[in-house]
Chain A
Amino acid sequence: MLNLQLLNQVSAFIWQEADMLDHSEFNEWLELWTSTATYIIPIDPLETDFENTLNYAYDDHHMRQLRVKRLTSGESISTAPRARTVRSLSRFRVLKDEGDVVTVRCAQNLREFRKDVLKHYTADITFDLVRSGDSFKIQRKLIQLINSTDTLAGIGYIL
């Protein structure tokens, strides 16, 4: 029996996170995470030991702060002008509910427009969400791009 109430709760939370990123609400976004959380974009689709291998991003709280600062400082020519993004998330599935931690996998399709180029990135995203009051905090966000092993161009925003 699907737990539709939980599915609703986690998708509402994840959609909110997506909307914050598309609309540059970075300070609010930084508040969504636990202090020990990781934001990971691996290269090898089969890899499970992200800490000891090379990723596109392996951000702790400090690196997330730095990434936000880089996006907003105006010091980086690849992020000024900023890319506009619209991301759609769907196909939510609760993989595990262990009381404190809920693991959710979903599909993300992101369109990016910057200067004169429209790009498209598709990814599986797996969230480990920690229950916090009547909502959640992100413990881990794992973004597995379907073309992670291909050559990529610069991604000057937060996936």
Chain B
Amino acid sequence: MTNLIETVLLDTCPSDLVQADRVHTSLYTDAKLFDEELDKIFYKTWIWVAHASEIPDNGSYKSTYIGKQPVIVVRDRKKDVHVLLNRCRHRGATVCEHKKGKTNSFVCPYHGWSYALDGSLRGVPHPESYADCLDKGDLPLVSLRVEQYNGMIFATFNDQIEPLVDFLGPARKWIDLFMKQGAGYPVKVSGEHRFRFPGNWKIQLENTTDAYHFPLVHKSFLSSVDEQTLELFDFVQGPGYVEDLGNGHSVMVMIPDLVDLEANLDLPIPERFEALAQELRNEGHEELEVRRIVRAVGGSGFNLNLFPNVACSMAFFRVLQPIAVDETEIHHAVITMDGGPAVANRYRLRLHEHFQGPMGFGTPDDSEAWERVQKGANAGKDLWIMLNRGLAGEKPSDDGLISDVSAETGMRAGYQQWKKMMAVPAAKQGE
């Protein structure tokens, strides 16, 4: 009883660490499990790498990570998107150190090998020393499989994996709903807040589908908003729900009225948006258009959590990146309407700054709670993380399982996928 962790880890596979209503604390604290997660999850499934608006033109790129491996997401001259390992095929140096930009090629700073936007090796300085022992065709930047859905770009190391649309499954219709916050304009990522917290990545994954913490952890945020917004965010006992969408994905609907931003355009404009609505009218927008923009500005009424690393969270993209078993990096990417009214986009930027980021009124409190989970998780040897909230009322739905808004159904969905992927022996994966 006193050393159950050791026993479990030595004698059984990771899948014994996940039960229907709880997971073992070692999922947050065991460095060996973390390394296994990189191999069996981050290097095996579809990982979100960019939104299409981040690389709008030919030659636009961003650099990011899949698990712990640096990659470049780039649009070539034919507008095709490539995800390339950020590593020169000569002696291994990164070929791109900028977070984003526009280029004609990637040139390694060490010996000057240069690569085209599709990763092919173009030039090698002073090739004479190689004589005929270098075939440039053999040494392109390593290119990963890439697929897109509605502007969301995913890549994978796994050539055998199912197509992205099948992996997303019923989550696709929620992505479509989420993109309605462009109010008819294309959705555009316009910057992001990046921060780290000393805790395991799954603590963050859980949080995106955790309505239960909101009134407590975000009390200071709720104290800073007007009466109507306060009512809107009082959703823990409301009619919302959490639904398991399969493959580890889930949706938490906090505000059912804001699931479809193009419906109910005849509802009264909330008080806090009246000034914005008037400015839009003054700019000459028709009333229906004003209502559509104003309704979209506040964001969607749900968080879509896509396993393992991205969420469409009310009004922004949440991206997580595992750094170590007890260190995680988070990006909160703000969304604006590409070509939309500047006054409405400013409103979205200020809303994002109000809650998100290191100086927001929300993120630092989340971060503090997660840090405390990691710290507390070091206590005890045979303790489990309880995930049984909302089990009593959980029912099958068209897309999976459904329970009340503060149910831990979405977390259970994520951990069942974790279990499924971690249970596969390493040798079997990718066959």
Contact = CB atoms under 8 A, between A and B. Distances in A.
Q: Do A and B come from one complex?
A: yes
Interface of A: 41, 43-44, 51-58, 63, 66-67, 69-70, 73, 75-79, 149-156, 159
A155 B359 contact: yes
Contact of B346 (A43, A51, A79): A51
B91 interface: no
Interface of B: 99, 190-197, 217, 219-220, 223-224, 329, 334, 342, 345-346, 349-350, 352-354, 357-359, 361, 363-365, 367-369
B224 A41 contact: no
Contact of A52 (B193, B345, B353, B369): B345
A133 B365 CA distance: 41
A156 B366 CA distance: 12
A149 B353 contact: no
Contacts of A69: 223-224
A42 B197 CA distance: 21
Given A54-B193, A151-B195, A153-B196, A76 B365 contact: yes
Contact of A152 (B220, B334, B354, B358): B358
27 contacts: A43-B193, A54-B191, A54-B192, A54-B193, A54-B353, A55-B349, A56-B359, A63-B354, A70-B220, A70-B224, A70-B361, A75-B219, A77-B365, A79-B364, A149-B99, A151-B195, A151-B196, A151-B329, A152-B195, A153-B196, A153-B197, A153-B367, A154-B363, A154-B364, A155-B358, A155-B364, A159-B359
A116 to B, nearest CB: 10
Contacts of B217: 77
Nearest to B369: A77
A76 B220 CA distance: 5
Given A54-B190, A153-B367, 17 more contacts: A41-B359, A52-B349, A53-B349, A54-B334, A58-B353, A73-B220, A75-B220, A75-B223, A76-B364, A78-B365, A79-B364, A150-B194, A151-B196, A153-B197, A153-B358, A154-B363, A154-B367
A43 B217 CA distance: 26
A149 B195 CA distance: 10
B223 A78 contact: no
Given A75-B219, A152-B195, A53 B190 contact: yes
Given A54-B352, A56-B358, A66-B224, A154 B191 contact: no
